[in-house]
Amino acid sequence: MAEPVLQVRNLTTRFKTERGVVTAVDDVCFDVHAGETLAIVGESGSGKSVTAMSILRLIPTPPGRIEQGEILFDGQDLLQLDDAQMRKIRGNRIAMIFQDSMASLNPSLTIGKQIAEPIQLHRGASWDEAYDKARDLLSMVQIPDAQSRLSAYPHQFSGGMRQRAMIAMALACEPRLIIADEPTTALDVTVQAQILDLLKDLTHKARTAMILITHDMGVVARYADRVAVMYGGRIIEQGPVREIFQRPQHPYTQGLLASIPRIDSDPDAPLPAIEGMPPDLSALPPGCAFAPRCPKVSHRCESSRPALTATSADHAKACFLA
């Protein structure tokens, strides 16, 4: 297999807060290959978005700090680059799609200008060339009457159309990697499916690697190739989607999958729930972070932290259970 587009090794990111030091990302490792979609899943506060912001070197310092690790993008460690070098990569070779398109788009600039600017900046195109490419991109993401829509402002677009415009911006410079942070959270179910189908199709055709951050296991099952499950700032299980869904090995992953509504289940029966609350990242227990909520906890889990170890060639878990 070809070398991964992105290799994250032992990434640790911490924040200094009034409650103490918060380890938001703890010794995280994963790879993403060209044309592959890696889903990162977990509850709110598990470290998904901080992982994405760490990759892009967008952690505010202070209070945050990337304390250790490597982020190898096409073999180049992003943590060794200066700010000017990172600016040449962001929006060019690595693009990000945020969940709140209205907060991400500039309300005072037209959609056409916001898509054309990175093409002009990173690719050295003339303004006319960049504007023509912006029109083509709007057509590609299935926005009707793309020529006239170039002069529209974000508030004149619906939520789904704004998200399509964000995808057009992300694809503008033909990036090697796209990070999509819950890109359809604020949209209705029908539009969600349209946006995700479009994103998957476009990245597959361009052989673009994608990291899809979500809490929706249904989205993972339909759109991802591999999945990394995060809890308490750590990856506690990862592997191919089919393998994870058919043979989940960590109790937390088992709990997430059990909570998915099924068409053949009793409509009057309550969905299984994971008891308890997510851990306080400033006061993690000495052992496994999931131990206080785990139905299969042992004394070893409460005193020792399990390492992420391979159970097969492409499946790994951080759990003492056989």
Count of CB atoms situated within 10 Å of the CB of 106: 12
pLDDT in tens, 196-212: 888 888 888 889 999 99
Measuring CA to CA, which residue among 56, 57, 84 is closest to residue 175? 56
16 Cβ contact partners less than 8 Å away, ≥ 6 residues apart: 22, 62, 63, 65
Position 155: which residue type?
A: H
Assigned CATH for 6-93+173-261+273-317: 3.40.50.300
DSSP calls for 3-41: PPSEEEEEEEEEEEETTEEEEEEEEEEEEE-TT-EEEEE
Nearest CA to 97 among 192, 169, 203?
169
Q: 270-281: per-residue pLDDT in tens?
A: 878 888 888 888
CB atoms within 10 A of CB 152: 17
Distance set, CA 35 to CA 22, 50, 98, 177, 180 (Å)? 34, 23, 20, 9, 14
Cβ–Cβ < 8 Å for 11, 66: yes
pTM for the complete prediction? 0.90
| pLDDT tens over the chain, length 322 residues | 578 999 999 999 999 988 889 999 999 999 999 999 999 999 888 999 999 999 999 998 889 999 999 999 999 999 999 999 999 999 899 999 987 777 788 999 999 999 999 899 888 889 999 999 999 999 988 888 999 999 999 999 988 889 889 888 888 888 999 999 988 776 778 888 888 888 888 888 889 999 999 988 888 998 999 999 999 999 999 999 999 999 999 999 999 998 887 777 777 778 788 888 888 888 888 899 999 999 999 999 999 999 999 988 889 999 998 6
Bridge partners of 73?
Answer: 6, 76
CA distance 82 to 184: 32
How far, in Å, CA of 13 to CA of 254, rounded?
Answer: 27
Tell me the Ramachandran region of residue 135: left when phi exceeds 0, alpha when psi lies from -120 to 50, beta otherwise: alpha
Query: Of the candidates 97, 96, 2, which has an alpha carbon nearest to the alpha carbon of residue 55?
Result: 96
